[in-house]
Amino acid sequence: MTPFYKGLCLFAVLALGHTSCTQPPTTAGQVPQSQTEGGRAKANGTPKPYSQVISREAVSDSGLFVVHKVADKYYYEIPDSLLQRDFLWISRIANLPSGLGGGYVNAGTATNEQVVVWERFENKLLLKTKSYNAYAADSLPIYLSVQANNYQPTLYAFDIAAFSRDSAGYVIEVSKFFQSDIKAISGLDARMRRDYKVSKLDPDRSFVRSIRSFPLNIEVKQEFTYEAAEPPSNSETGTISLVMNQSMVLLPKVPMKPRLNDYRVGYFTVRQIDYGSEALKSDEKTYIRRWRLEPKDLEAYKRGELVEPKKPIVYYLDPATPAKLRPYIKAGVEQWQKVFETAGFKNAILAKDPPTPEEDPDFSPEDVRYSVIRYVASTTRNAMGPSVSDPRSGEIIESDIVWYHNHLRSYRNRYLLETGAANPSARSLATPDEEIGEMMLEVISHEVGHALGLPHNMKASHAYATDSLRSGAFTQQWGIAASIMDYARYNYVAQEGDKGVRFVRQMGPYDHYSINWGYRLIPEARTPQEEVPVLSRWIEERAGDPRYQFGSGAGGYDPASQTEGIGDDALKASTYGLTNLKKVAPQLMAWTAAQTNEYDDLEELYGELMGVWSRYIGHVLTNVGGVHENRLRPQQEGYIYTPVEAKLQRQSLEWLLSNVFSSPDWLNQAQIVRNIHHASHLENMRSLQVRHLNNLLSFDRLARLMENEVKGVDYTALGMVKQLQQGIWSEVSKGQKIDIYRRNLQKAYLDRMDYLLNDAEAQQAAARSVRGYSTAVTVSQSDIKSIVRGELSRLESQLRSARGRYSDELSRYHIDDSLVRIRAILERERLKG
């Protein structure tokens, strides 16, 4: 700055009380521009002239920031106006090696979401994380304490390479940052690094693939290669390579008015701890995640008229989507239009084909202004409905639904297995296109539901009487569950001869109810707190109606809130389902291999049939030690937790003894088992039966059964173990021959009793409840060991008495072996004591 110009600025300050002289804004501790002679560096490390950094060879991309590429380096040109603004930073895996994360991680998986801000400190720009978990209004004195006691980390400090041409922004070089192993944006978490023995990032094989700038977001693709002693695949390379996508999204300057969550209705949420509360403690506030829908005509909306939103929710189809599937995907999105009309909005959600390059040359699925249903060429059998939301308010900003190409194969297989007995059109590998399309439509609707803020509602499948699912009139009107957000995919209750029954899920009354609760405006309420009385009234008007209940299924203890179940009576529904499977199993050869002249599909479907049977078993098993959860507020009558009645628990265990722990001859189909493997049937059967036996004899289930004693339920842990042991060893009291399935099962029973009595590590783990997903019990001070020891002693006595009655040599050997095992189990326990 010249002395003359300095003088003009000083005159302006003295005469006018302010100055309009343009300089880069100065914050505490920074070096003023006057010390850098107009931005020219006086010493190494200080900013250089703009033209020396961003040369004529630069390739520039304008958007949220201007992104420059100069040779092999990338630069951000950040306007001063965007410092201290909130950005949401989302890290996603774009490409990954096979098996990463044990198969539970896919392309598109988000590894981290965080709010970041850019700050200037001296000649650096700092990229800092910012948390809204701790909050107080900046007008309150406690705001200073919240800031001081929740200081956020700095992700990276960038040297200011130059000031913008107009001196209203800063140029920083970002290549080194994106080529470094920054844990907060890395795709490998601590567990993966440990399991795969990752030593370091290889800088020579790690680079920035691309950086694109859009009006509201910047998208970065990085390729990382790590040195790893035990990678999940391609072990001979000793490396893990993956591509990460980093999204930085500008959040609205003024957050949307949030809506307080109520656990009686299911929504994804964001949480804050409000230290400005007048309560005697910090107040945790939970807001639902939802899109910002505002009526074009508020007065018409208030009068109860249907009104279009100012900005509808729009999903674009991926250009890679096969043409024949597009109508079903669009219908799956727009099926929600009727639901939003319940909340007062018409045409609230739309599906569109992607624009052509002529229509919109700037269209990109990575632009945060566009929500896209991505069609992914992958063997993964799944679909996802993730969304990006503002942590300050819960406003959903963008959502990309992911559909994996092979997902329909799973639906085809389940359709055949679960409905084939009653549904002739399902008895083929070549399912009719319109039926496959209907399945896809409903899956898309389910994933859109997630993107609208709705989690799974596993209680919706318990809303309807089981026998009503055999009625054509009922299922065509109401579907097979009260919500599309349940995992109630198919009607496996319907029996051969039932007329006009709907077999595929559809939307239900809960979907209308939950969208109305979350999205209907309450114009008279100025704050989230003022909305609460109205929101509570909407819930309590529906109290007691099972169609409007919510259950997450977490914990696995509520028989009314189970994944993949349908109907309000699991015992009856699983009996119907098992009846159908027994009809399907003998036909699998005719419906598959006989048509294709190959055994691959037969082997796949037979394995999945075992999985379907296993699910039906699990639905009944949950009754044993089960506890119904009814979400209530204190002013409502009744209990939140109610144990399953004793009679039903006994009946359920009897069903398991008859249908699971007996010899499953119906599954031993010679044309199948002798054509798909040389010797696996017996081991497969043992594995499935033992899984459910161990589930019955788990610490947390026994803990819940022990609770029954103090809650007055006449079915206790001792009663269950007695009934189970008597059923598992029923041949002994009758002197009957013990076949190979039962011998295996009885050995497994003894192994499990040994686990309950002697596994110290498992007993220690049982004392810790993991985030509510298990029931804690201190084993050494409970009845568990007493019950196990007493019943093993009883069994030992029975086996000694029965031994002499057996002429069958292998059965007698088995009894002798069992006696040795019991004595060893009890002796191990005695020696520890």
Residue the block writes with tokens 């200080």: 46
Amino acid at 545: D
How do beta strands 110-121 and 124-130 pair?
antiparallel
Q: What one-character-per-residue DSSP string does 253-290 give?
A: SSPPPP-B--TTS---EEEEEETT-SSSS-EEEEEE-B
Taking alpha carbons only, the member of 291, 289, 250 closest to residue 269 is 289
Highest averaged pLDDT of the listed ranges 63-67, 148-152, 179-183: 63-67
pLDDT digits (tens, 9 = 90+) for 469-481: 999 999 999 999 9
Count of C-beta atoms within a 10 Å radius of residue 13: 12
Calculate mean pLDDT across residues 69-83: 96
Residue the block writes with tokens 């309150």: 140
Angle at CA of residue 243, ends 238 and 249, nearest 5°:
150
**Taking 50 as the threshold, does the pLDDT of residue 22 lie above it?**
no
Residue 335, both tokens: 């099926």
pLDDT band at residue 19 under the 50/70/90 scheme: very low
Residue 183, both tokens: 């844990």
- pLDDT more than 90, % of the chain: 72
Q: Which of the two residues, 433 and 10, has the higher pLDDT score?
A: 433
Angle at CA of residue 322, ends 317 and 324, nearest 5°:
105
**Taking 50 as the threshold, does the pLDDT of residue 527 lie above it?**
yes
The rounded distance, in Å, linking the Cα atoms of 54 and 538 is 59
Q: What one-character-per-residue DSSP string does 795-817 give?
A: HHHHHHHHHTT---HHHHHHHHH
Run of H or E including 536: helix 528-540
Residue 740: CA atoms inside 13 Å, Cβ hemisphere, count?
6
Q: Which of the two residues, 611 and 400, has the higher pLDDT score?
A: 611
The rounded distance, in Å, linking the Cα atoms of 301 and 715 is 55
DSSP H helices, 71-227, are: 142-149, 175-178, 190-195
The rounded distance, in Å, linking the Cα atoms of 339 and 342 is 5
The rounded distance, in Å, linking the Cα atoms of 276 and 119 is 26
The CA-to-CA distance between both ends of the chain, in Å, stands at: 86
**Residues facing 89 on adjacent strands:** 114, 248
**Taking 90 as the threshold, does the pLDDT of residue 163 lie above it?**
yes
Angle at CA of residue 58, ends 52 and 63, nearest 5°:
110
pLDDT band at residue 20 under the 50/70/90 scheme: very low
**Taking 90 as the threshold, does the pLDDT of residue 351 lie above it?**
yes
Residue 480, both tokens: 């097979």
The three-state DSSP-derived secondary structure of 757-776 is: HHCHHHHHHHCCCCCCCCCC
List CB contacts of 812: < 8 A, sequence separation 6 or more. Answer: 803, 806
Taking alpha carbons only, the member of 459, 423, 432 closest to residue 545 is 459
How far CA 738 is from CA of 637, 666, 734, 821, 832, in Å, comes to 52, 18, 11, 17, 33
How far CA 17 is from CA of 8, 12, 13, 598, in Å, comes to 13, 7, 5, 89
pLDDT band at residue 204 under the 50/70/90 scheme: very high
**Residues facing 248 on adjacent strands:** 89, 218
Least confident of 127-141, 408-422, 775-789: 127-141
The rounded distance, in Å, linking the Cα atoms of 277 and 134 is 12
Q: What one-character-per-residue DSSP string does 702-766 give?
A: HHHHHHHHHTT-S--HHHHHHHHHHHHTHHHHHT----HHHHHHHHHHHHHHHHHHH-HHHHHHH
Burial class (CB in 10 A: 0-12, 13-18, 19+), 490: buried
List CB contacts of 63: < 8 A, sequence separation 6 or more. Answer: 212, 213, 214, 215, 217, 218
**Taking 70 as the threshold, does the pLDDT of residue 772 lie above it?**
no
The three-state DSSP-derived secondary structure of 180-219 is: CCCHHHCCCCHHHHHHCCEEEECHHHCEEEEEEECCCEEE
**Taking 60 as the threshold, does the pLDDT of residue 27 lie above it?**
no
Q: Which of the two residues, 106 and 346, has the higher pLDDT score?
A: 346
pLDDT of residue 102: 74
Residue 622, both tokens: 């949950």
Residue 672, both tokens: 């199948």
pLDDT band at residue 363 under the 50/70/90 scheme: confident
Are 490 and 503 a contacting pair, CB within 8 Å? yes
Average pLDDT in the chain: 88
DSSP H helices, 585-679, are: 588-591, 593-596, 600-621, 646-659, 670-676
pLDDT of residue 244: 92
Q: Which of the two residues, 658 and 275, has the higher pLDDT score?
A: 658
Least confident of 95-99, 286-290, 441-445, 757-761: 95-99
Angle at CA of residue 112, ends 61 and 289, nearest 5°:
95
Q: What one-character-per-residue DSSP string does 387-418 give?
A: EEE-TTT-BEEEEEEEEETTHHHHHHHHHHHH
Residue 241: CA atoms inside 13 Å, Cβ hemisphere, count?
8
pLDDT digits (tens, 9 = 90+) for 787-808: 999 999 999 999 999 988 888 8
pLDDT digits (tens, 9 = 90+) for 684-741: 999 999 999 999 999 999 999 999 999 999 999 999 999 999 999 999 988 899 999 9
Least confident of 251-255, 513-517, 715-719: 251-255
pLDDT of residue 660: 96
Least confident of 146-150, 287-291, 345-349, 357-361: 146-150
Taking alpha carbons only, the member of 182, 183, 187, 180 closest to residue 108 is 187
pLDDT of residue 96: 84
Are 564 and 481 a contacting pair, CB within 8 Å? no
**Residues facing 286 on adjacent strands:** 271
Highest averaged pLDDT of the listed ranges 207-216, 358-367, 405-414, 462-471: 462-471
The rounded distance, in Å, linking the Cα atoms of 322 and 320 is 6
- What angle in degrees, to the nearest 10, is found between the helix axes of 681-696 and 717-728? 160
The rounded distance, in Å, linking the Cα atoms of 817 and 828 is 17
Residue the block writes with tokens 């109508």: 327
* Domains (range + CATH), the chain: 30-250 (no CATH), 257-545 (3.40.390), 592-833 (no CATH)
The rounded distance, in Å, linking the Cα atoms of 664 and 686 is 10
Count of C-beta atoms within a 10 Å radius of residue 3: 7
The rounded distance, in Å, linking the Cα atoms of 184 and 358 is 39
